[in-house]
Amino acid sequence: MAKHLLKLVWNRRRTNILIVIEIFFSFLVLFVAVTLGAYYAHNYRQPLGFSYENVWDISVGSSLQTDIEPTSAEQKTARVNITKRLLAAMRDFPEIEASAGLDSPVFAIGSSSGSLHYKGRRAETTFNQVTHGFKDVMGLQLVRGRWFEDADDALNWDPVVINQQLAQELFGSEDPLGKNIGDPKDKRESRVVGVITDFRENGELFEPENYAFTRRKLTGVSDDLSPHIAIKVRPGTPAEFEEKLVNTLSAVGKDFSYEIKPLVETRESLLRVCMAPLIAAGLVAAFLMIMVGLGLIGVVWQNVTQRTTEIGLRRALGGTAGSIYTQVLGELVVVTSIGLVIGTALVVQLPILGIATFLSNEVYLTGLGMSLALIYLLTLLCGLYPSMMATKIQPAEALHYE
């Protein structure tokens, strides 16, 4: 049967080559859209590692007269003291459960990155400098060790808290607590004091990454103004509280501007931006699928019409409606398979060439399998009606067909 179908397809190769080309390009576009969707869906199911509900981000910006970077030790101390006074002012509000200063807020792409070292191993890592209240604001979960504390001011080394993924990459099964992970060239050590669950700062659609927190001091002149302050407000806090908070902050640090935005809104904005390419790819794939579907219906219909005599004679020789039905659909499946084989041969080269390495094997195979299934489903749906019409051709019609 398969050999007979291949022979029939080959005899009509000029017509079928156009279908093969359509199937090939449709499969490639569909693979990109489906794989991207599978990638986002896989990431979405992973835990964030923090809680963003009832958390507000306060962006602290300088006014024109203080927009110049501080140069003297006194200027730097003044700016650090501003952060300390702002955080102290937060504690006077019963609506605020916790507050912390930080360099980069969550759901905001653009955090600083670097590398950490241990026994010849090197891991690229995203960094964030925070005050010790950040754990309570974001609801971080410690799985080993401790978080930052005020007693760390007296240390002659820098405490670091890392996530589980980074701990696994640098230390494997070895206990990371107390290990120096700083650059071997640095005189001051950076030691691990705690390990948290995987922390995905950029949100649900991004894959887990290596992450490390360093401690921002609020004494001395070692650090500058904290560009962001995160606060956790009590559930049910009214929107009017935002104006009250801004007025208080402006009174404490009158030379600075303040912009407050709930992380729920920041998350929604980031989701819209990240979903834009997926929606665009989906629309293109849907358009191509519709065009291919209409083309398949037209080609199969024309094929059946041109072969009325052949089909009628086959019915006259005892061919059943089921065999005619199977033949027409079988030819369409063979043509579709040729286009998909070529497309699959191209797609499987991506991992070999090191392209799209961010895709896991699970996501890659899911995208490939779903794309193949959707193309075959489209093929069968488009061939159902023309195939059914072919089964209705009677021998008498074939004798009168010109």
Strand, helix or coil at 200?
coil
pLDDT of 21: 82
The answer to whether 16 and 335 have CB atoms below 8 angstroms apart is: yes
Number of H helices, E strands in the chain: 12, 10
What whole-number distance in Å separates Cα of residue 58 and Cα of residue 228?
6
What number of other Cβ atoms are within 10 A of residue 139's Cβ?
15
- Angle made by CA atoms 286, 292, 294, in degrees to the nearest 5: 105
Reported as type and span, the H/E element at residue 44 is helix 13-44
Tokens of 68: 């110049």
Please name which of 295, 319, 281, 309 lies closest in space to residue 386, comparing C-alpha atoms. Answer: 295
Task: Please tell me the predicted confidence (pLDDT) of residue 66.
Answer: 46
Cα–Cα distance measured from residue 175 to residue 177, given in angstroms and rounded to the nearest whole number:
6
**Residues making up the chain, counted from first to last:** 402
Quote the tokens at residue 215: 């401690």
Contact by Cβ (8 Å): 7, 14 = no
Farthest-apart Cα atoms in the chain, separation: 104
**CA distance linking residue 235 with residue 229, whole number of Å:** 19
Please check whether residue 106 is in contact with residue 160, taking contact to mean a CB–CB distance below 8 angstroms.
Answer: no
Contact 108, 222 (CB under 8 A): no
Question: In the prediction, which pLDDT does 276 show?
Answer: 86
Quote the crossing angle between the two packed helices 361-391 and 321-347, to the nearest 10°: 150
Smallest CA-to-CA distance from 118 within 177, 163, 158 is with: 177
* Predicted local confidence at residue 159, as pLDDT: 95
Query: Residue 4's pLDDT is what?
Result: 53
Averaged pLDDT in 10-residue chunks for the chain of 402 residues: 56 70 85 88 89 92 53 55 84 92 84 86 91 93 93 90 94 92 84 93 89 82 71 90 90 86 92 86 82 75 62 62 68 83 89 78 90 88 71 59 50
Phi, psi of 341, rounded to the nearest 5 degrees: -65, -45
Label residue 125 exposed, middle or buried (CB < 10 Å: 0-12, 13-18, 19+).
buried
Residue the block writes with tokens 């986002």: 40
Residue ranges of domains in the chain: 2-45+274-400, 55-269
The pLDDT score that the predictor gives to residue 308 is 59
What's the CA gap between 108 and 258, in Å, rounded? 17
Q: Rounded distance, CA 332 to CA 9, Å?
A: 9
Residues 6+ apart with CB under 8 A from 117: 123, 181, 182, 183, 184
**Shortest CA distance to 179 belongs to which of 119, 253, 114, 266?**
119
211: which DSSP letter? E
Distances (CA, A) of 226 to 129, 247, 392: 9, 19, 78
Q: Rounded to whole angstroms, what are the CA distances from 196 to 110, 139, 250, 335, 385?
A: 21, 11, 35, 53, 58
At which residue do the structure tokens 């084989």 appear? 341
Placement of tokens 């059943």 in the chain: 320
pLDDT on residue 57: 94
Residues 337, 330: Cα–Cα separation, whole Å: 10
Decide: helix, strand or coil at residue 255. Answer: coil
Model's pTM, two decimal places? 0.76
